[in-house]
Structure 1
Amino acid sequence: MRKIEQVLLSFVQDLLKNNTIPVNCITLPCEDYSWLDYGLRATILENHDHEFIQMYFNKIKTNTIYYLKDTLHCTYTILRIPDSPILMICGPVLFEEMSPARLKEVFRKMKIPESQQPVLQGFYLRLTSFPTPTVYNNIFITLGNYIFGENKYEIIYDDFNDMDSWYETYVHYSNIEDSRMNIRMIEERYAIEAQILDAVARGNESKAINIISKLNGRNLPYRLNSSLRDSKDYAIAFNTLLRKTVEQTGVHPIHIDAHSNQNVKLIEQASSREQCSAIQLQLVRNYCRMVRKYTLKDYSLLTQKIMTYISADLTSDLSLNAMAELLNVNASYLSTLFKREVGIPLTDYVNRQRVEQAKKLLTVTDFPIKSIAEKCGIPDVYYFSRMFKKRTGCTPKAYREQAGWEQRMVANPGTQNDPIY
């Protein structure tokens, strides 16, 4: 293959893996195929071998993309890498929702013993599911066009019913009830959640989003008849985990509580499982930003109290003497401690916070500038304007006009006048 084809192949493999779709590259013969189904067949069937699978893979042709759907309704995609004996096998994935009713239908058709039903359900929970195969299939069509040549390869859709003869009778099913598959599935989910929480605790938004994208591709266990209710309950529990994680980083509960309660309301308003997944992504983003903005773990308890009090109410008296009286400490000691830990005097810190709040209000509201000055704790609008210009380089009015122009450009790109040459 040419280098560009190798790069594209690697890109597709990484794209699939990042969406929790297994990708395995093998050279025949292969002695162990348990990776095909996370060991499901070996777990629920007695004396199961992979002869049928081996025979099928031996027949894989070059310049061909195979889409296989097996007895378990899972889809695999297989292709032989050009100029190589290597087979790339992607999957399993689902293109349907395994609701409780659908699971019962599968159990009935395959005559799955009751003791083995949790094993099969656990298997489905590990799989990535898509509402339709269109996007998934287009990935491989694009890949085929590049590595085989447009219109120079074949696409084969096939049924892979290697288990048909097995569920004709119960005797072929294993009697082992406590499966290690469910244990591994639970361990994987908890491990992913732990990675997300660790990234959030560090305020690492990009890493947390990348990890949660993998988790959202997985199915959730159904406890009720409504899968939407399951998704909402999971999102609420996830919000609780995030809230406690952020609190442990030193963010004061005053910043967390209202945000957390609003998240629950937002989750309850969701009308689909997809919306619940989107909300979880937003939760992670917001909590990461909260950590970066409000974490106080590196400061002494006294400084933490000062910074929390300032951010809670910018309109109150935030002078050095007022803060010292509030905290019952010496004003000189408080001033020295704050400057040593934060790097700037208390008055400068307060003014910075007020200007940052003013910038936000100027951007997202149409409040009069006098009203914004008051909301930021500066009743004298002329003093407010001078302080704002000193710290930003422009007046509040000019800042609002510039922010409004930038927002219009984002909303309507291309509306600005083209230069005339």
Structure 2
Amino acid sequence: MELDHLTLFSQIVQAHNINCLLVDRDFSNLYKADMELRSKLYSNYDYARLRDAILKHCRRGELLKLKDDFGLILYIFPLPTDSLAQMGQAVCVIAGPVLEAAPDPGEIQKIMFRKKLPDSLFRELQEFYSSIAVPPELKSLESTLITIADHLFGEAHVLRSYPESGDLTLESPSQFQALNDAPSIAINTIEERYEVEDQMLEAVACGDHMKASRYHSLFKTYRITPRTENALINRKNMLIILNTLCRKAVQKGHVHPYYIDELSTQFAIRINQSRSMTDLDAIDNEMIHKYCLLVRNHSMKNYSRLVQRCITYTDFHYAEPLTLSFFADMCHVTKSYLSNLFRKETGSTLTDYIHAVRLRHALVLLNSTTIPIQVVAASCGYSDLNYFIKLFKRENGISPKQYRVQMNRNENALCIKKSPPEPLP
């Protein structure tokens, strides 16, 4: 298997929000296999038992499923011996850890009792488990890993579990007593979660929906400790927090507070009115998408204060008689200076921008109301109906009347398509 194939395998595994570790031939980086859990818990832990299990039970053509007594599952592929030089001396690939299910507080306490861990570590372990991926379907993940390995390794693979029953203990009896004084198990996890959150919000502030969605998906793999026993309230609380974070991110993207408040209020109402998990499920993805759109459509990040002032005034006063002369007087500059500055920063003339804002609002009115065309024109700042029709047709290819007829026709066709067939007589 070539090096770029191995890189591709790692990227595919990581795309499922699961760690992928290329284990060095001397096993010096094996401490990363369990997210450093044991190296933080125990003094001088050397991972010898995990190393021995890999050497003894990891066979070519097999996907070894190893489950330990912390409930962590590792999937291990051995690498072909003849390719070790190409792989940077990696001896095997470990995908994981993952969990069959997120442990509840009672299950975590049972693990702690079994491992003789002090009660003071409960919160740390709870945070640690919240960072471990829980695939929706474990068998589906295993099939995916095998299929990927079959293609990239160039040979068929089968799944084999070790141990066949029960869970594998990777500590010696003496290590149960050799706990570190103050093991910081969750610090890295919390730091990683905050880093992912920062990257997500930075993407939102830039209006980068693809990047924001990717980090949002990764952020959701960190199962934050519930604040209450009511799952619905917990979900609402998380969405309220996300709404607040996105609102602040968009503010950094130099969007006017009016637009931010309008969108955040819409989401706040939806969250509050939701009565089931199903109602809440689609909100977070839509939230990321719409806040990114808000930045892309209304950000004034790269504009001077003068241009920002003209844009903001136009956005909120588009129905007024706006002209280049009006803005030049308002800003105490010459018309030529303002015109050149606006075109330089936005790529558009101020007059064209005024028309664009007005025509955008005209589309909304034509779509959502039945008021006469002349009223639509007046509502958008055009006292001359013919001039409005001319501009609208130049921008959209059809007249306002034709546009409204077309929208009504499409809406009626959609209603007919959705209507159930009439019962037979």
* TM-score using structure 1 length: 0.81
Match of 1:257 in 2: 261
Aligned-pair distance for 1:66? Answer: 1.6
Q: Which aligned pairs between 1:286-325 and structure 2 lie closer than 5 A?
A: 286-319=290-323
The SS at the match of 2:186 is: helix
Deviation of 1:336 after TM superposition, in Å, equals 3.9
- From the superposition, tell whether residues 400 and 74 of structure 1 become closer, same or farther in structure 2 (CA, over 3 Å): farther
Provide the identity percentage: 27
Q: Using the TM superposition, name which of 22-31 and 378-387 deviates more.
A: 378-387
Which among 176, 183, 190 is matched to residue 181 of structure 2?
176
Secondary structure of the corresponding residue to residue 185 of structure 2: helix
> Structure 1 counterpart of 2:339, which letter?
K
**Which secondary structure does the structure 2 equivalent of 1:181 belong to?**
coil
Query: Relative to 1, partners in 2 of residues 1:49 and 1:379: Cα closer, same or farther, differing over 3 Å?
Result: same
Moved more, 200-209 or 316-325: 316-325
- What is the CA distance between 1:249 and its match in structure 2? 2.8
Instruction: Give yes or no for the alignment of 1:50 onto 2:44.
Output: no
- What amino acid maps onto 2:299 in structure 1? T
| Residue matched to 2:109 | 104
Aligned-partner Cα distance in 1 for 2:399–2:157 = 64
Moved more, 227-236 or 114-123: 227-236
SS in 1 for 2:362: helix
What is the DSSP-based 3-state SS (H/G/I as helix, E as strand, rest coil) of the residue aligned with 1:146?
helix
Letter in 2 for 1:199: A
Measure, in 2, the Cα distance between the counterparts of 1:272 and 1:389: 45
Q: Kindly provide the amino acid, as one letter, of the partner of residue 176 in structure 1.
A: D
Identify the match of residue 220 of structure 2 among 216, 227, 231.
216
CA distance in 1, matches of 2:388, 2:230: 54
**How far apart, CA to CA, are the structure 2 residues paired with 1:237 and 1:205?**
19
CA distance in 1, matches of 2:405, 2:169: 68
For 1:142 and 1:245, locate their aligned partners in 2 and report how far apart those are by CA, in whole Å.
40
The residue number in structure 2 matching 1:116 is 121
Q: Deviations over 1:85-111 (max 9, x none)?
A: 531110001231233343334334444
1:141 lines up with 2:146 in the alignment: yes
Question: Which residue of 350, 353, 359 maps to 1:349?
Answer: 353
2:240 pairs with 1:236:
yes
2:84 is the counterpart of 1:92: no
- What SS class does the counterpart of residue 387 from structure 2 fall into? helix
After the TM superposition, which of the residue ranges 124-133 and 220-229 deviates more from structure 2?
220-229
Match in the other structure for 1:161: 167
Q: Structure 2: how far apart are the matches of 1:189 and 1:324?
A: 49
**Secondary structure in 2 matching 1:67:** strand
1:67-99 deviation line (CA, Å, top 9, x unaligned): 222211122111123454531110001231233
- List runs of 5+ in structure 2 lacking aligned partners: 85-90, 417-425
CA offsets 1:135-182 (integer angstroms, 9 cap, x no match): 3223113224424678x432112348343776x8995251523x3332
8 Å contact from structure 2 (residues 115, 176) kept in 1: no
**Structure 1 residue 117: Cα displacement:** 1.9
Q: Which runs of 5+ in 1 are unaligned?
A: 413-421
Match of 1:33 in 2: 30
Judged with a 3 Å threshold, the aligned counterparts in structure 2 of structure 1 residues 79 and 375 are, in CA distance, closer, same or farther, namely: farther
User: CA distance change for structure 1 residues 372 and 68 in 2, over 3 Å: closer, same or farther?
Assistant: farther
- Measured in 1, the distance between the counterparts of 2:340 and 2:401 equals 35
Q: Which moved more, 1:59-68 or 1:117-126?
A: 117-126
In the other structure, the counterpart of 1:130 is 135
- TM-score w.r.t. the length of structure 2 is 0.80
Map of 1:199 onto structure 2? 203
Q: CA deviation at 1:21?
A: 1.1
Alpha-carbon distance in structure 1 between the residues aligned to 2:16 and 2:137: 15
CA, structure 1 residues 16+149, in 2 after alignment: closer, same or farther (shift >3 Å)?
closer
Q: Give the Å deviation of 1:349.
A: 2.0
Between 35-44 and 79-88, the greater mean CA deviation after superposition: 79-88
TM-superposed CA distance for 1:124, in Å, is 1.0
Contact 1:369–1:396, Cα closer than 8 Å, also in 2:
no
User: How many residues align structurally?
Assistant: 402
Residue in structure 2 matched with residue 79 of structure 1 by the alignment: 77
Question: Cα RMSD over matched residues?
Answer: 3.6
Q: Which segment drifts farther, 35-44 or 128-137?
A: 128-137
Match of 1:419 in 2: none
Q: 1:102 to 1:57 in 2, by over 3 A?
A: same
Match of 1:61 in 2: 59
Q: Distance in 2 between matches of 1:135 and 1:7?
A: 25
User: 2:58 touches 2:78 (CA, 8 Å); kept in 1?
Assistant: yes
Q: How does 1:276-287 map to 2 (within 5 A)?
A: 278-287=282-291
Distance in 2 (CA, whole Å) between partners of 1:406 and 1:134 is: 44
- Three-state SS of the structure 1 residue aligned to 2:96 is strand
In the alignment, the residues of structure 2 paired with residue 261 and residue 129 of structure 1 have an alpha-carbon distance, to the nearest angstrom, of: 33
SS at match of 1:180: coil
User: Aligned equivalents of 2:92 and 2:413: distance in 1?
Assistant: 49
Per-residue deviation at 1:18?
3.0
> What letter is aligned with 1:22?
N
Provide the C-alpha distance between the structure 1 equivalents of 2:78 and 2:377, rounded to a whole number of angstroms: 68
